Amino acid sequence: MKNGNTIISIRNISKRFGASVVAVDNAHFDIAEGEFFALLGPSGCGKTTLLRMLAGFENPTEGEIVIDGQVMEGVDPDKRPVNMVFQSYAVFPHMSVERNVGYGLRVTGVPADETKRRVQEALELVKMERFAGRMPSQLSGGQRQRVALARALVKRPKVLLLDEPLSALDAKLREAMQLELVRLQQSVGITFVIVTHDQDEALSMANRIAVMESGKVRQIAPPADLYEFPNCKFVADFIGKMNLFEGKVAGVSGDQIVLEAKGIGRITVPYSGSAQGNVGIAVRPEKMRLDHGQPPSDRVSLRGRVTELAYYGDESNVFLENETGVTVNVNVPNEARTTNSAFAIGDELWLSWNPADTLVLTE
Amino acid sequence: MAADIAIAGPVPARRVSRRPRPTPLEYGRKRWLQGVVALNLIFLYFPIVSLIAFSFNDSKRNVTWQGFTLKYYDQAFHNSGLQEAFLRSIGIALTSTVLSTAIGALLGLAIYRYRFPLKGPFEGLIYLPIVIPEICMAMAMRSYFGAMNIPLGFLTIAISHIAFSFPFVAVVVRSRMSGFDESLEEASRDLGASPWQTFFYVTLPYMTPGIIAGALLAFTLSLDDYVITQFTSGPGSTTFPVKIYSMVRQSVTPEVNAASTVLIVLTLTVTIVAMWVQSRSGNKSIAS
């Protein structure tokens, strides 16, 4: 974040299609200038609708959007200080790269020599200057995306909106583009708002993430906060891998809470909230450890049998089932170079975690 | 070494055959299909080829070859009635093409883009002129012009031609638009273009191949229409096809062949030019 000035204010925005479909339900938050902000959620959660309302392609049913101090109601897309990179890239197929990038300047009457200079700069920014004369049909998907980026950035918008910009790229290229987008954002200093369903993408790129589910914003937080301190079962489950157990609050003693975890038993963990009754108990798979011997008593532990093993190269996923039928997923890093798995299906093992790594979720 | 060992192993006997059997997708090498193609060529193109050939025949009758001549072209060009009819046909075709292309293109775009009440029945009505028998359309037109007291002539022919051509243009443009990525228009608006700029720089270039194809269709439909033209033309407003038919009724002379050949060459040229323009515009920007 360059500074804390609000660039986008989303005030009680709702969007309904017809009588029954609520695409966005009372979204209310601010995005700061220079921020890399991600709207994250499963498909159909309303994140794209929210982005399209920022761009001006949809009108909110209720509420108000303020961009750069200006209320956006009744302002057409061509008059907004934002530009968008479309999921399909929407590169004009009948124009060369150069003409695509210069389009937004030509239609608004920017003089030809200035257009030429700014197009050149924008193409250099995305490393596409060698392709200025090419037609879009002669470009790869990644190159087309760079054209779409340059075409939006050449307008010098206050905010750049990106709708699933990396979803059409293959895995390797996607990773490279993630880094490059972050670098680009830092060098131009423009606020980026990106829509994605890919949590890795959001976590690795954004300063702040809003997680949405069926139209509602569930949590807005920086990546690490979102991962380590999700505020509800949905966010806990959607971001990364998570072991979720059902449980009940059995009592509170000072800054500790005693939980009755179904199928596991009584566990005591540090807690400062006000949870009561039924709660969700969540632990990340990589916070857990597997041992052949019994773990120390200051750790939460349970004994179970390995039912499944999944090998990912850098790590392995071990699924452990205890005698009450509770299944736990543990991530084991493959630290040493060996093809012999440390654990085998059917092994009886101890699983344990630090009580401080336990999340108590009330929603 | 490894390669040597591989070769030393048992080699499967290769089937020796000069022409291997065609694979399932090699349709061009299947006898019965070749036959079907040959029959098609004979029935579709032989009449046209013979028509053109006999226009150079130095004989009053289209029966035997007597020798090469251009005199029937000379005759056709000096037949003032034929010439007048030809020019009138071109005039009507151009008028009809321009107007029916404009109406049809906008209609095709509207049907592609908008949802409105009774859209289904509306679309059905538009395509009516394509499906109803031409003779009914001709009768309807004639009685309508009669009832409205519009004198039959160039105007009534042109109006009728527009009426039956524009649905074809609409269908072609509509099908072209089905592959359109709407985010192109959104991108244009997003980049600061007005709705009109977006239409002219983004939507129209995409529609262009469909518009050209539709215009060609409208042009040829108008140029060779006989039935509707016959019903809606008045005295002194004979078109080329009507004139040729009246000449043929007396006798089939090579002069008719010559006139028809000119028409074929003309439509072919228009088509080739249009296709060439289309393939060029695919690679070049139209937006300024």
Q: What is the pLDDT of residues B144-190, one digit of tens each?
A: 999 999 999 899 999 999 999 999 999 999 989 988 999 999 999 99
Please give the mean pLDDT across all residues of chain B: 85
Sole residue written with tokens 């002669």 = A138
By C-alpha distance, the chain B residue nearest A156 is B191
The CA distances from residue A351 to A268, A331, A359, B262, in Å, are 16, 11, 17, 91
Q: How far apart are CA A184 and CA A160, in angstroms?
A: 11
- Which burial class, exposed, middle or buried, applies to A6 when counting CB atoms under 10 A from its CB (0-12, 13-18, 19+)? middle
* Tokens read off for A279: 């709660």
Type of residue at B166: F
* Closest by Cβ to A78, choosing from B192, B202, B206: B192
pLDDT at B288 over 60: no
- Which burial class, exposed, middle or buried, applies to B118 when counting CB atoms under 10 A from its CB (0-12, 13-18, 19+)? exposed
Count of CB atoms situated within 10 Å of the CB of B262: 17
By C-alpha distance, the chain A residue nearest B197 is A107
| CB contact at 8 A, A113 and A145 | no
A6-17: strand order across its sheet = A21-32, A6-17, A62-67, A70-71
Is A261 in a helix, a strand, or coil? strand
Q: How far apart are CA A85 and CA B183, in angstroms?
A: 10
* Closest by Cβ to B193, choosing from A56, A78, A96: A78
Q: Which fold has domain A6-233?
A: Rossmann fold (3.40.50)
| Whether B180 contacts chain A with CB within 8 A | no
Least confident residue range of B44-58, B139-153, B244-258, B267-281: B267-281
* Tokens read off for B141: 């037109």
Q: What pLDDT score was predicted for residue B269?
A: 87
Q: How far apart are CA A249 and CA A279, in angstroms?
A: 7
Q: What pLDDT score was predicted for residue B6?
A: 46
Is B90 in a helix, a strand, or coil? helix
* Closest by Cβ to B181, choosing from A56, A88, A107: A88
Is A340 in a helix, a strand, or coil? coil
* Closest by Cβ to A108, choosing from B192, B283, B285: B192
Note the CATH number of domain A241-361. 2.40.50.100
**What are B51's strand-pairing partners?**
none
Q: How far apart are CA A124 and CA A150, in angstroms?
A: 9
Q: How far apart are CA B145 and CA A354, in angstroms?
A: 93
Could B287 and A57 be called an inter-chain contact, meaning their C-beta atoms sit closer than 8 Å?
no
| Whether B186 contacts chain A with CB within 8 A | yes
Chain A with chain B: Cβ pairs closer than 8 A: 80
Q: How far apart are CA A37 and CA B102, in angstroms?
A: 46
Sole residue written with tokens 């009053």 = B60
Q: What pLDDT score was predicted for residue B55?
A: 87
Handedness of CA A311, A312, A318, A319 (dihedral sign): negative
pTM of the model: 0.80
ipTM, interface predicted TM-score of the complex: 0.85
How confident is the prediction along chain A (363 residues), in pLDDT tens digits per residue? 445 789 999 999 999 998 889 999 999 999 999 999 999 999 889 999 999 999 999 999 999 999 999 999 999 999 999 999 999 999 999 999 999 999 999 999 999 999 999 999 999 999 999 999 999 999 998 899 999 999 999 999 999 999 998 888 888 888 888 998 999 999 889 999 999 999 989 999 999 999 999 999 999 999 999 999 999 999 999 998 999 999 999 888 888 889 988 888 888 888 888 888 889 999 999 999 888 888 888 898 889 999 998 988 888 899 999 888 889 999 988 888 887 777 888 889 999 999 999 999 987
Domain spans of chain B?
A: 79-281
Q: What pLDDT score was predicted for residue A219?
A: 94
With contacts defined as CB-CB under 8 Å, which chain A residues touch B283?
Answer: 135
Type of residue at A113: D
Q: How far apart are CA A234 and CA A217, in angstroms?
A: 11
| CB contact at 8 A, A41 and A197 | yes
The CA distances from residue B18 to B15, B29, B30, in Å, are 10, 14, 16
Q: What pLDDT score was predicted for residue A143?
A: 92
Pairing of strands A21-32, A6-17: antiparallel
> How many C-alpha atoms does A68 have within 13 Å on its Cβ side?
12
Q: Which fold has domain B79-281?
A: MetI-like fold (1.10.3720)
DSSP string, A169-184: S-HHHHHHHHHHHHHH
Count of CB atoms situated within 10 Å of the CB of B60: 13
Domain spans of chain A?
A: 6-233, 241-361
| Whether A57 contacts chain B with CB within 8 A | yes
| Whether A222 contacts chain B with CB within 8 A | no
| CB contact at 8 A, B76 and B262 | yes
By C-alpha distance, the chain A residue nearest B285 is A95
Q: What is the pLDDT of residues B75-99, one digit of tens each?
A: 888 888 888 998 999 999 999 999 9
